[in-house]
Amino acid sequence: MSSGARILVLVLVGSGSLWGQVAQSHPTRSTPLSQPAQHNQLLKYLTKYGYLPAPSDGNALDYTSLLPSAIQEFQDMARLPKTGELNEDTITMMSQPRCGVQDWTRSRWRRFLHSGSKWRKHSLTWKISSFPDHLSSSQVLVVFKDAFKTWANITNLYFEYRSAGVVDIEIKFLTGDHGDGYRFDGKGGVLAHAFYPPDPFTKTRLSFGDLHLDASETWTLNTNDDGENLYNTVLHEIGHSLGLKHSNAPGSVMWPWSADSAASQHTQAKLSSDDIIAVQSLYGEKTSNRYEKSENSHFLCRMHVDALLTTPNNKIYSFNGATVTELNSTTLEPVFGSQLISEVFPGFESDDSVDAAVSYKGFWPYEASYLFVGHQYYRYSLNTSDNQMTLDIGYPKNISLGWGFNESHFDSVYKYGGGNTPVFVKGLKYWMHTGTSHGPYWNYPKMLSMSPNLFLNSLAGIDAAFLHKNGTNYFLSDEHAYLLHHDDIMDTKNLQQLC
């Protein structure tokens, strides 16, 4: 597995054989480690989780002077009294089921931590590719849908289940060595691991966001049953898939000992204020109901869309954050999973999302596709030899140079059916463009409310729009999607509201 994919491993540390007789010592007294095996286990634990430095270049280290501060740091993470002494409470915490990623970052503690990456879109797809033997697929699906919904309820995220195809988050129940370098070790050991979201600067596809669970575990659906509570574990792992590290706040789903401790196995986990603040700091507070649309509703109704585009070869693309998704021209459902924009539109290097997109011919001998990002735009031509988009030489350029007016950050750019005049929309204003470097027509901008089109003048802005090859326009406005036929644009009977 490439080093570009960062992983978190949920691991069980056995409480009986690991510490032996030491676990019986008094909780308030320092415990002498008289047996070398016990001492070595302590060093191994504290080194594994980052409280002690690992030996470098094969040179052994004298840990004697480092142990008290390392134990104190562990106690701080575990929210125990910071005595710096190995007492029974400390040993008990070291013996609890926990997540295997390092705790200590050698930096100032925050109550929650981010991985440094996040999804650059608000709509994520997921599927389960394999299931445990002792639970039905329908039982497992219900658990995952509930867990995803828990996160979606408090932030602007939508999770769409798919039964097949390429997705953002792939979930598997696996055993042993399963090819990602982080093998499962059977019942009672490693429970699960999850990958962080993709780094926007990493152009290759890895296992970003994926979630693996050990199929050897006895996963339970009821909090009264013995075994590993599936919902609690999944809720924790999804947090990692969204970009959250562990929190040192007890009660947090992202606390290392929260989702899988013996005490919480018989309690349904709930997101704490710490978890809510953490995920909202990445994806914002919940402000829209778009992400709660029925899974049976139209794709344009249930997914966040930054821009829409029909290319010269009549392919339809939906832009969302740093990704783009090809849509079926008939159903407008995804053909494949999301791809990085640069994979479909080579040379696209902006860290910002696409504001608007349109294909337009103008006075050129061929039609080109334009992606607008902030103050700049990219122009792509269709390479007829391989049917791929190619960035034209000299791009990106400033909008003021190529389009002749000093505006930027458009909400949408589109063409009406049957015409070739691009319309630029920003807020409640719109511009009819001449199609040349002279810019818009002299009497623009105008307010949408002044549009001669009885449909457009009722909209509170246009978030995204595109012209279908059949001559109809699709518009997204606020939380609604519309289809407009062009037999007569003055006749609102030709308007179809999709949601």
List, as residue ranges, the binding site for Ca(2+). Answer: 168, 185-186, 210, 214, 217, 306, 355, 357, 463
Q: What residues are labeled active site?
A: 237
Q: Report phi then psi at 272, rounded to 5.
A: -90, 175
Q: Which residues pair with 361 in a beta bridge?
A: none
Alpha carbons 72 and 80: distance in angstroms, whole number = 9
- Residue type for position 209: G
| Residue pair 174/168 in contact by the 8 Å Cβ criterion | no
State residue 66 phi and psi, 5-degree precision: -90, -20
Phi, psi of 96 (to 5 degrees): -80, 150
- Edge-to-edge strand ranges of the sheet holding 98-99: 98-99, 7-11, 190-195, 211-214, 169-174, 123-128, 158-161
What letter does residue 4 receive in the DSSP assignment?
Answer: T
The two structure tokens encoding residue 233: 């574990």
Of 68, 12, 48, 67, the C-alpha closest to 233 is 12
Candidates 264, 171, 284, 176; CA nearest to 220 is 264
Which of helix, strand or coil describes residue 307? strand
**Binding residue ranges:** 99, 168, 178, 180, 185-186, 193, 210, 212, 214, 217, 236, 240, 246, 254, 306, 355, 357, 463
The helix (H) or strand (E) run that includes residue 279 is: helix 273-283
443 by Cβ neighbours in 10 Å (0-12 / 13-18 / 19+) ranks as exposed
Given the structure tokens 């735009």, which residue do they identify?
377
Q: Residues annotated as binding site for Zn(2+)? A: 99, 178, 180, 193, 212, 236, 240, 246, 254
